[in-house]
Amino acid sequence: MARSRNIKPSFFKNEHLIDLQPLDRLLFIGLWTLADREGRLEDRPRRIKIELFPGDSYDVETGLANLAGKGFIERYEVDSEQYIQIEAFTKHQKPHHKEIASDIPAPPGRPQVTRHAYDVSSETRLSVFERDGNRCLKCGAEEGLSLDHIQPLAKGGDNSTENLQTLCTSCNSAKGDTTKDYRRAVDDSSLSRVQGNDGAPCPSDSLSLDSLSLDSLNLIPDSLPPLPPEGGAAAAAGKQVGKYSDDFESFWREYPKRHRASPKPDAWKAWQARIRAGVPSSDLIAAAIAYRKEQVALGKAGTQYVQQPATFLGPGERWTPYLGPQPEAQAAQQSAVLSVPTHSQEMYPSDKF
């Protein structure tokens, strides 16, 4: 029975495949649809021709030999029966989880059942995300997260939590089938910083400098002017501990949550720009509180209708209407604001997934 399979754009640029004739390449694709979930099928050229090339005068036997010669398939025999194993099939294909297990014996020396990435339970997935701080361990992104196998399944890895790490889909794709533990990069970076600073405190989520961009490290470019000294009008930036200042952390706690994660580094950069422009941090925090109360009263807190924090703090001065009376908001808040709990008491839906 033929099955639906996936074809990737890289197929058409494979330097080994392009050495084959076009119909040989089409045969290779066709074999995927005939193979079971382990990439195996019976080696019966006449039947394969009827299934894939009923109207073409194409020699399937020659095509199979060409594919085997390039290492795309293995033709083997078990108990006098002939079979085909499509190489790297489970790496590139994701059979439906209800597809029946293979009843074709594996090639000699290979496991009968292959571990599949989709065998990871949702509970395991969530626990790994939580362990890794709900962000990509390579670039720090908080959206588009996926599970990555540190040692790929095709290279002997498994679905245990110790072999899983959190990467965004972009970094996961870039990693490919290489073995790279970004959790170790985090640990090594933290250790080297402690040793290099004579025991100075180092945040536990320090990341590897040689593998990350400036933005992913949540740093401010060197070209920006330094914050004014304490005591000045812009000293309201607050004492900075770690990546963010205390006042910014207060703003972040008060700001209404969105249905998905908001980029904190972007908001931090916008915050710094406003502080350098002379805006008191107390005004920004007060505006965040007023905006949160409005969104709660309107039933929008925790939804996509909440502005991104970076937009709220941006040069458009979206925060300014919330520094004084807001007539348009007061009407909606008449029955709700009086009983709005403090921020620490409010409950918001998770914005991580």
User: Has residue 342 got a pLDDT over 90?
Assistant: no
**Domain range enclosing 151:** 116-217
Whether 258 and 195 share a structural domain: no
pLDDT of residue 123: 81
**pLDDT one-digit tens code per residue, 171-216:** 887 887 788 899 876 555 544 544 544 444 444 333 333 433 333 3
pLDDT of residue 196: 47
Q: Which helix (H) or strand (E) holds 235?
A: none
User: Has residue 15 got a pLDDT over 70?
Assistant: yes
CATH (domain of 158): 1.10.30
Among 114, 144, 177, residue at a domain's last position: 114
User: Has residue 291 got a pLDDT over 60?
Assistant: yes
Q: Do residues 26 and 60 make contact, with C-beta atoms less than 8 angstroms apart?
A: no
Among 191, 217, 243, residue at a domain's last position: 217
Total domain count, the chain: 3
Q: Do residues 288 and 301 make contact, with C-beta atoms less than 8 angstroms apart?
A: no
**pLDDT one-digit tens code per residue, 230-252:** 444 334 445 554 578 999 999 99
pLDDT-derived band at 351 (thresholds 50, 70, 90) equals very low
Whether 238 and 334 share a structural domain: yes
CA 76 vs CA 40, 154, 244, 314, 320: distances in Å: 11, 20, 61, 64, 73
User: Has residue 128 got a pLDDT over 50?
Assistant: yes
Whether 140 and 33 share a structural domain: no
Residue 290 inside a domain? The answer is yes
Residue 2 inside a domain? The answer is no
Whether 35 and 128 share a structural domain: no
pLDDT of residue 261: 64
Whether 281 and 234 share a structural domain: yes
pLDDT of residue 25: 95
* Phi/psi at 227 (5° precision): -65, 145
Write out the two tokens for 125. Answer: 């997935």
Among 114, 137, 168, residue at a domain's last position: 114
Asked whether the CA dihedral 273, 279, 280, 284 is positive or negative, the reply is: negative
In the chain, beta strands by DSSP E: 40-42, 73-78, 81-86, 145-149, 164-168, 240-241, 244-245
